[in-house]
Amino acid sequence: MSEVIEILRRLHRILVQQADIRSQLERGPRMVKIAQTHYETAVADELAHRELIKKTRMDADRKQLQLREREAKIFSVEGKMNMCKTDREFQALKDQIAADTQANAVLSDEILEMLETIDTLVAATPDFELRCKQNKAEAEKVAANTEARRVSLEADLARITEDLAATEARLDGDLAGTYRRLVALRHEEALAVLEGNSCGGCNTSLSPRTIDRLLMREPVVCTSCGCLIYPPEGR
């Protein structure tokens, strides 16, 4: 029986390693995707930034055109003032010029504010470009590292899977059948080591009789969680 326990212990270790390699293999593409998404977000942000500069420039141009039109209008009203026949007519034109001049002052302030905004936006452009460049380099690095890691992990997985098959072949009889049925269902969680007086899989306390059997180096199926329990080394 002692040899059987060694085989189960070894199988458990291999199954855990195999599961770990598989999870690392699955994690790789996720990391690549995250880095790629960061890069795409940076590109989209840079584009939105450039669009905002373009739009603010167009708005400022439009307001500047409006200002020039209003200035021309004031100029033309000033021309009409010389041809006024009544004081009332003169005063009305004078009031109109005052109102337009006031509106133009507001418009000039708005334009100035927009030009300042454009300056600030333009000054921030290199930061957006830098972020794109850095995120692109990072995405490429993650992709290259993940690919190198995948090759090495797959080699490990092939080696370990071969080792697993060779070790499994050493089991026979009912135990081999029980092991295969459990592993097909629960993978690396099909086996558990005895921990104190409990099942290492589900922490349930085991009966003294079960512990005796385990210490006699006989593997036992846990009545609570159904995994195959084996005694720890040196016990």
Q: Which residues bind Zn ion (CB under 5 A)?
A: 199, 201-202, 222, 224-225
In angstroms, give the least distance from the CB of 42 to Zn ion: 49
Which residue in 27, 72, 17, 71 sits closest to 187, CA to CA?
A: 17
CB of 220 to Zn ion, least distance (A): 10
Q: What minimum distance in Å lies between the beta carbon of 204 and Zn ion?
A: 5
CA 149, chain centre distance (Å): 20
Cα–Cα distance measured from residue 147 to residue 222, given in angstroms and rounded to the nearest whole number = 41
Residues sharing a CB contact under 8 Å with residue 79, sequence separation 6 or more, in sequence order: none
Question: ∠ at Cα 166 (163, 167), nearest 5°?
Answer: 85
| Backbone dihedral angles phi then psi of residue 14, each to the nearest 5 degrees | -65, -40
Residue 7 vs 222, nearer CB to Zn ion: 222
Query: Cα–Cα distance between 152 and 13 in angstroms, integer?
Result: 20
Give whole-number Cα distances, 30 to 23, 97, 132, in Å: 11, 67, 20
Nearer to Zn ion, 115 or 202 (CB): 202
Nearest to Zn ion of 152, 197 (CB atom): 197
- Nearest distance from residue 235's CB to Zn ion, in Å? 17
Taking the least distance from each CB to Zn ion, the nearer of 103 and 202 is 202
Cβ atoms of 220 and 210 closer than 8 Å: yes
Measured from the CB of residue 9, what is the shortest distance to Zn ion in angstroms?
A: 17
Of 11 and 132, nearer to Zn ion (C-beta) is 11
